[in-house]
Amino acid sequence: MDNTGFLPVCAEDLAVRGIEQLDFIYVTGDAYVDHPSFGHAIIARVLESHGYSVGIIAQPDWKDDKSIQVLGRPRLAFLVSAGNMDSMVNHYSVSKKRRATDAYTPGGEMGKRPDHATAVYGNLIRRTYRDVPIIIGGIEASLRRMAHYDYWSDSFKRSVLLDSQADLISYGMGEKSIVEIADALSAGIAVHDLSFIRGTVYKTKDISGIYQGISLPSYEEMKQDKTLYAKSFMIQYENTDACTGKPLIEPYPNGIYVVQNPPQPPLTTEEMDAIYALSYMRRWHPSYDEKGGVPAISEIKFSLISNRGCFGGCNFCALTFHQGRTIQVRSHESIVEEAKLLIKEPDFKGYIHDVGGPTANFRHPSCEKQLTKGVCKNRQCLFPKPCPNLKVDHSDYLKLLRTLRELPGVKKVFVRSGIRFDYLMADPDDTFFRELVEHHVSGQLKVAPEHISDAVLCRLGKPENAVYERFVAKYKKLNTQLGKNQFLVPYLMSSHPGSTLKEAVELAEYLRDLGYMPEQVQDFYPTPSTLSTVMYYTGLDPRDMKPVYVCHNPHEKAMQRALIQYRNPKNYELVHEALVKAGREDLIGFDKKCLIRPRNIAGRNTGKPAKKKTIRNTHKKKSN
């Protein structure tokens, strides 16, 4: 097996490379995929580019202490990540049922990482190497860096820094902070003295030297009073910007404090370019070949990341806490060079599957002020209306897409990572919208209105439904003008805080009038460090501290979900019960406005749903 070019994964690799002791050992819950869409690959290659040696222990057996010893003792530190996903999201559906497969494991095999992997791996290492620094990072550690609600155990948990027995958290994307940590450790500074690095969280018993620190309610206080947690979260939310963020201090018993330093500054274009130009092998480790490789790479192998960050600010999304609201972009030259690498791949068929990021059509900060003064603490760029200072301009993204689709060997360039339709509608220039429809839609465009009730959209942090309606009309018009027959696939969410059966019925009526029934519906999933999760746990909207309705009952959740798919015969009983409970029996009958028919009325029917309407050409019958 030829491992040349990959980072060391075993003692034999160290011997071949003449390495007696690695500087860092990266322990990850994902399989080792040396591709810039995988966090462990980026961090390891960044450290390597700064002269440090790094080895990878991928998916160690957490029940066997020896699994963490295969590369020996690192000179500077262990780095730990649960993987590209929170391990609990990776393992469980929103109904808390165990998933059947894991796309980040060879062959899609489930069960190769533990629940709460960051904490488990940290304790595994600490049992064997008591004095070696442990730095945790990745999405799981980043979003659990302070006390947080854990949906799966329905409990209020401490900072993962304490539960993992780690020394530091590198939160956010981590490229800048990990180099500063490495340089400090290499210079002989003890890990417990690393209290000065932005983008990190540390524990201490002495907070006397913290400048401009903001004291949060203690863990014990928040555990007893959910209101205090809602207030604490809002303080954290308002301190996620590098320009304005202050140190946050969270007290714990026995005189321990968990301290979050302000975020690292956003990456410059030059820094982004340098990261994506590193010597990635761009594939899974050869040891996985016999199992058919790692399924997750199929989604990103022929896609290009063009940006990071998102000023959309959806309340159910954790991007504000992880990547921040300031847009960071790669240069056209950097992206084109990577595209040329894709074109050279033997299995490239001429299609670039995506060019984007968290939101594809964000290619610059929302306003010039952000670059020097940071994002606004108490207002959003797009919600509830676009800010007067919002800079709406698709010209740079359009130029990039035009360049890519003209490359020799490229047949089509698709945009699949999500278009923010309210931002698109705020652009007075239709050029991008027209070319998007003409050149960059693969038969269907995925958008995320999430709901149609303005009462729910307000809690989601999404624009009012009228904006989506205007978008749909314009999309249809452009398709007609261009002779296209392309569809919209709207993502919809049931049971989000603020959604009662009344709003769920409204959504069902909307879908009835549209003639569309989605094949898949996503229940709201309370993941750590989102505004929506705080609403779910506390029953309060942290923005105004007002009560908000929360659906906790699994049966009611099933009813809300069934209403969105009311035409499915399997959902008849749930839909009937929901309509009765909502006082909407008027929707049970034979009128064209009814959702379902009554059963056993003079033998006239067997409870079939109301007759389908013709599907408009702006929406597709079935979504992927």
Cα-to-chain-centroid distance, residue 248 = 24
pLDDT in tens, 249-268: 999 999 999 999 999 999 99
CA distance 427 to 375: 21
Ramachandran region, residue 7 (left: φ > 0; alpha: ψ -120 to 50; beta: rest): beta
CA distance 140 to 143: 6
Q: Tell the residue number behind the tokens 């070949």, with chain if given.
A: 289
pTM of the model: 0.93
pLDDT in tens, 4-51: 799 999 999 999 999 999 999 999 999 999 999 999 999 999 999 999
SS (H, E, C) 528-578: CCCHHHHHHHHCEECCCCEECCCCCCHHHHHHHHHHHCCCCHHHHHHHHHH
pLDDT in tens, 481-513: 999 999 998 899 999 999 999 999 999 999 999
- What is the 8-class DSSP label of residue 464? -
pLDDT for position 620? 46
Q: Is the pLDDT of residue 614 over 70?
A: no
Whether the Cβ atoms of residue 22 and residue 63 lie closer than 8 Å to each other: no
The proportion of the chain whose per-residue pLDDT surpasses 90, expressed as a percent, equals 90
CA distance 615 to 240: 44
Beta-carbon contacts of 520 under 8 Å, excluding residues fewer than 6 positions away, are: 623
| CA distances for 416 relative to 355, 446, 488, 504, angstroms | 8, 7, 12, 28
pLDDT for position 611? 53
User: How many residues are given for the chain?
Assistant: 624
- Topology classification of domain 11-200: Rossmann fold (3.40.50)
Sign, Cα dihedral of 195, 198, 202, 207: positive
Q: Tell the residue number behind the tokens 């239709």, with chain if given.
A: 430
CA distance 530 to 321: 8
pLDDT for position 2? 66
Beta-carbon contacts of 93 under 8 Å, excluding residues fewer than 6 positions away, are: 99
| Residue-wise DSSP of 29-63 | SS--EESTTSHHHHHHHHHHHTT--EEEEES--TT
pLDDT for position 272? 98
pLDDT in tens, 369-404: 888 899 998 889 999 999 999 999 999 999 999 999
* Residue 252 host element (H or E): strand 248-252
Beta-carbon contacts of 270 under 8 Å, excluding residues fewer than 6 positions away, are: none
CA distance 391 to 368: 8
Identity at 366, one-letter amino acid code: S
Helix axes 431-439, 395-405, angle to 10 degrees: 30
Whether the Cβ atoms of residue 593 and residue 587 lie closer than 8 Å to each other: yes
Which residues in the chain are classed under CATH 3.40.50.2300? 11-200
- If we measure between CA atoms, which residue out of 321, 335, 322, 405 comes closest to residue 363? 335
Confidence label for 608 from pLDDT (cuts 50, 70 and 90): low
Q: Is the pLDDT of residue 360 over 70?
A: yes
Q: Tell the residue number behind the tokens 């749909």, with chain if given.
A: 472
CA distance 207 to 218: 14
Name the least confident of 178-192, 563-577, 591-605.
591-605
